[in-house]
Amino acid sequence: MARAIRLVIQQRGMTQRTAADTLGLATSDMSDLVRGKLARFSQQRLERCLLAMGMNVTIQVTPKATHARHAQLAVALDESLAGTA
């Protein structure tokens, strides 16, 4: 989710300061988010950031594949974002 936030910021040509204002974050928090220092960012906080940027967040729950040893957690980026990665 942090990657998606960074990509949206990049696509929109926003500065970290503008993004921080948009998301209601301190500029130091925005800097940490952009640099991938996510210790202070819960899943819920990242979801709120995405929603504040007008992005839909979809959580889908499915059974694990029968041949898989463990269940997995995955985040998929929409094509409109993935193309800029």
Reported as a pLDDT band with limits 50, 70 and 90, residue 78 is confident
Do 70 and 64 form a contact (C-beta atoms < 8 A)? yes
Indicate the average pLDDT of the chain.
92
CATH of domain 2-82: 1.10.260.40
Question: How far, in Å, CA of 20 to CA of 6, rounded?
Answer: 12
Question: How far, in Å, CA of 38 to CA of 26, rounded?
Answer: 14
* C-alpha torsion 39→73→59→2, nearest 10: 30
User: pTM surpassing 0.75?
Assistant: yes
Kindly list the domain boundaries of the chain, sorted by start residue. Answer: 2-82
Given a cut of 90, whether residue 83 has pLDDT beyond it is: no
